[in-house]
Amino acid sequence: MRYLRSFGRFWWNFIVGDDWRVAAGVAVALALTALLAHEGVNAWWLLPAAVAIVLALSLRSAAERN
Amino acid sequence: MSTGTILIVAGSFFACAVEMVEALTIVLGVGVVRGWRSTLIGAGAAGIVLALLIAVLGPALGSIPIGTLRFVVGALLLAFGLQWLRKAILRSSGFKDLHDEDEAFREEREQAAKAGDERRLGLDWYSFTVAFKGVLLEGLEVVFIVIAFGSAQGHLGLAVAGAVAAFVVVLVAGVLAQGPLSRVPENTIKFAVGLLLTSFGCFWGAEGAGVDWPGDELSLLAVIAFFGLVSFALVRTLRRRHTILVTAGAET
């Protein structure tokens, strides 16, 4: 069980890292992009804009914690 | 050779170089204090595991449809690349300490000197396990980047070549310097790699989600420029904030 937990923690740190909200934001933005593309909207601008906002918010909260 | 392919080789080269510098510090710290045989066997064993991972996973991913592969790889690269970029911005603005190779080398030497003298399979077990773990953990990020870059663009060989070139360059530099490569501008390289990973992740992720980029592959350069400008602005804003905090702290 301990090994399983450390294995899970390793992959969580590897992919998600210090701020889970960044990974969650990326997942939501990608899902929205796919949904819009499915509806015929070529939303190429959505993901870069969302990533920039998510990054800025994450950095702001990291700076506030420090 | 297309712009995307050149950037893939450059990305895997710099990602591997910066991780190799950190792995080299660990291997040197242990090897100098406890001897080279077990340390190099540990580092070599980790290198074999990493090479096997690329050899098995790389071609296996080639059988997945390119749209699905780019969506998944793009999402992972975005999450992973944003971690690098976020840390690099925090370091550049003063909110996080810069990685100090000299300090890491000193700590590694101290721990190696204090460790016990257990022997297994004719090896100094401490040297073997520390070198093995150090190279494996630093190398896993390189394996991930090489496989992601190589498979999503269909140029695994070129991504591997970039990583191997970095391995050789850092190894030669380490042998010549006979110490940790503390003069390598690690944060600048991590910043650049984070920028590339985030941009490729965004480009492939959106493409995999069904987006047609205006200008096709050329828009990748625009995405890199956009994230570069955003990062630059964030560093400036946070640096100003950090200066205000430091000044206020000094006055109280």
Rounded mean pLDDT, B73-77: 90
pLDDT at B233: 96
Of B199 and B60, which is predicted with more confidence?
A: B199
Q: Domains in chain A: how many in total?
A: 1
CB atoms B234 and A54 under 8 Å: no
- Mean pLDDT, chain B, rounded, equals 86
Is residue A26 domain-resident? yes
Question: Which residues of chain B make contact with A41, given a CB cutoff of 8 A?
Answer: none
Find the range with the poorest average confidence among B118-122, B154-158, B199-203, B248-252: B248-252
B80 CB within 8 Å of a chain A CB: yes
CA nearest B198: which of B234, B233, B235, B223? B223
Residue B164, pLDDT > 70, answer yes
pLDDT at B176: 83
Is residue A58 domain-resident? yes
The closest CB to that of A56, out of B80, B93, B234, belongs to B234
Give the C-alpha distances (Å, rounded to integers) separating A9 from B78, B79, B224.
19, 16, 31
Asked whether the beta carbons of B179 and B28 are under 8 A apart, the reply is: yes
Confidence grade of residue B177 (pLDDT, cut at 50, 70, 90):
confident
Domain span at B122: 3-251
Q: Domains in chain B: how many in total?
A: 1
CB atoms B86 and A54 under 8 Å: no
Is residue A2 domain-resident? no
Which three-class secondary structure state does DSSP give residue B61?
helix
Asked whether the beta carbons of B181 and B21 are under 8 A apart, the reply is: yes
Q: What is the DSSP letter of B120?
A: E
CA nearest B24: which of B105, B87, B113? B105
Residue B188, pLDDT > 70, answer yes
pLDDT at B1: 65
pLDDT at B22: 86
Asked whether the beta carbons of A23 and B79 are under 8 A apart, the reply is: yes
Mutation site, B77, B82, B144, interface A, largest A CB count within 10 A: B82
Residue B191, pLDDT > 70, answer yes
Domain span at A33: 17-65
SS3 annotation, B228-245 = HHHHHHHHHHHHHHHHHH
Task: State the complex-level ipTM.
Answer: 0.92
Instruction: Find the helix or strand (DSSP H, E) in which B178 lies.
Output: none
Is residue A37 domain-resident? yes
Question: Which residues of chain B make contact with A61, given a CB cutoff of 8 A?
Answer: none
